[in-house]
Amino acid sequence: MLKIWVLLVLPLLSLQVLAAQKWLLRDTTIISPERTAPLYHQDILFSEQGIEKIGQQLSITDARAIDGRGRYVIPGLVDSHVHLGSSAGLDDEQQLEQPELVAQFMAQEPRSYLYFGFTTLVDLKQSEQFAKQWQQFPQKPDLLYCKALPFSNGYGMAFLPPAERFNTPYFLYDPAQAEQIPAGVDPAQHSAKRVIEKVSQTNASCIKTFNEDGFGGLWHWPTPPDDLIRELRQLAQQQHLVHVHHANALSGQRQAVASGVDVMAHGLWHWQELNDQNQLPEQIKQLLDQIIAQGMAYQATARVLGGEIDLYNPQFLQLSDLAHSLPAPLLQWHQQGHSEWFKALMDKRIREHPQIVTQFLGHPARGEVAETSNRALFRLGLVVRYLTEHGGKLILGSDTPSSPTYTNPPGLNGLLELYQLHQFGLGLQQLLKAATLDNAIAFGVDKQIGTVSEGKRANLLVLQANPWQTVSAYNRIEWVISNGQPIAREELSATVSPKRQ
């Protein structure tokens, strides 16, 4: 138990609720990603205004003190690929039948991210209304968000009924599909230039484009041409918007390279014409070399695949950490088997499309559990190892949740992404950079967050272990400091009722 020395001896719970103007974290070790060595015996003075001073044996009399002896301080983590306000793993009918479960999940979601150390999130497809609602939570990570720019009838629109697809002001018009687009749609309002103008009038920090032709053949969706993505990249740059590109297939990542986008939103696991290869092909190495040369930030999103594999793991729902991420009634509901619907849907699609499975695997299916997902994870590991060994810029993005399922739980999914990146070969110092500074740089907020430095926002984690020595340190958090407010980690658990605003 962390010993806490507080001026004006206060009980533990008071530390959580009092809005102390200044806090002094005493005699701690700072591990910051821009440094190559720890800073020992450091005091950190911070408040809601940010990190005010760092030094040894600071003489401060008007601050409440926290004893940091034997502890390690790092910047708060950043997950730059989330989708907030999801279905909690319930299908449409279940959401109508169980509204209280969904409401409990929504109330806990921001706290779960904080519990696992994520003090900043980037939602890659969000609305202004949700962003405003997010600000009403008393305990929440900082939120940046993108505007999704779907291509006519493509991914991001295709799952919607035809009558609803074109309601978004941000879709990109395709003249070749004029007959499939409602007559009342004004093409001029959906040109690249006009769409970027509309995005620039919001508080969005980024745009997200898509190259997804239908998950390896399950569907056949139109994809945007290279010149359109290139134009969007140039226009976004003029408006200081980060350009994120969804692509997990070889053709889509080639488009990203040709267009010079800022962030690749997924790792490469659809190798298409190279699917029969068991080693990293030269063609993919050449593509990755271009990604490295361009300085493109790369989100592996391994938990897309890990979440699919965990659907077949009967022990997943018994993980002790799940109790901190999901409210007890929702967790019990999942444990009772009510959320097997998505696994059944996956199995059905695989069973009904053996030729697509063969094409993806590069050989006929062998009947192994989660065979396609495991094959994809193997390919992703080769890609990540190559990027790691050749100076690629990997950033932490978990794609939480990538599917409407319980295996991508908020906060915990990001921790599992960290673990997977380390297993792929990302060193511990690189791992901290990927989850903090490099993420902050990629999304243009490195002047505010990403390091433990004077003048930066006081988003910090106090750990029991050194993250440069063990990856388990990321799950040994004692304090989460969110915008200058220290919160004991256990107070953020789903086992504790959320505070009311």
Strands 297-299 and 477-482: what pairing? unpaired
Winning range, highest mean pLDDT, from 164-168, 178-182, 462-466: 462-466
Instruction: Examine the pLDDT at 18 and tell me if it is beyond 90.
Output: no
CB of 114 within 8 A of CB of 140? Answer: yes
- Per-residue pLDDT of 317-349, as tens digits, reads 999 999 999 999 999 999 999 999 999 999 999
CATH architecture designation of domain 77-442: Alpha-Beta Barrel (3.20)
The structure tokens 């400091």 sit at 481
Kindly indicate the confidence band of residue 2, based on its pLDDT and cuts at 50, 70 and 90.
Answer: very low
Give 399's Cβ-side CA count (13 Å radius): 23
Mean pLDDT in residue range 468-485: 98
CB of 73 within 8 A of CB of 39? Answer: no
Instruction: Examine the pLDDT at 13 and tell me if it is beyond 80.
Output: no
Sheet with 206-210, edge to edge strand ranges: 77-82, 118-123, 142-148, 206-210, 242-246, 263-264, 297-299, 393-395
- Per-residue pLDDT of 270-279, as tens digits, reads 999 999 999 9
In 3D space, the residue among 407, 427, 446, 417 whose CA is nearest the CA of residue 299 turns out to be: 417
More confident residue, 122 or 1: 122
Instruction: Examine the pLDDT at 96 and tell me if it is beyond 90.
Output: yes
Candidates 3.40.50.300, 2.10.77.10, 2.30.40.10, 2.60.40.1080; correct CATH number of 12-75+452-492? Answer: 2.30.40.10
Instruction: Examine the pLDDT at 59 and tell me if it is beyond 80.
Output: yes
* Strands of 218-339, DSSP E: 242-246, 263-264, 297-299
DSSP state of 49: T
* Angle between helix 354-361 and 341-352 (nearest 10): 90
Task: For residue 253, give Cα distances in angstroms to 288, 311, 390.
Answer: 9, 28, 18
> What residues does each domain of the chain span?
12-75+452-492, 77-442
Kindly indicate the confidence band of residue 500, based on its pLDDT and cuts at 50, 70 and 90.
Answer: low
CB of 253 within 8 A of CB of 274? Answer: no
pLDDT at residue 163, as a whole number: 85
pLDDT at residue 162, as a whole number: 87
- Per-residue pLDDT of 193-247, as tens digits, reads 999 999 999 999 999 999 999 998 899 999 999 999 999 999 999 999 999 999 9
Mean of the per-residue pLDDT values for the chain?
A: 94
Instruction: Examine the pLDDT at 12 and tell me if it is beyond 80.
Output: no
3-state SS track over 426-466? CCHHHHHHHHCHHHHHHCCCCCCCCCCCCCCCCCEEEECCC
pLDDT at residue 487, as a whole number: 97
The Cα–Cα gap between 379 and 373 comes to: 10
The Cα–Cα gap between 2 and 68 comes to: 8
CB of 468 within 8 A of CB of 31? Answer: yes
Instruction: Examine the pLDDT at 136 and tell me if it is beyond 50.
Output: yes
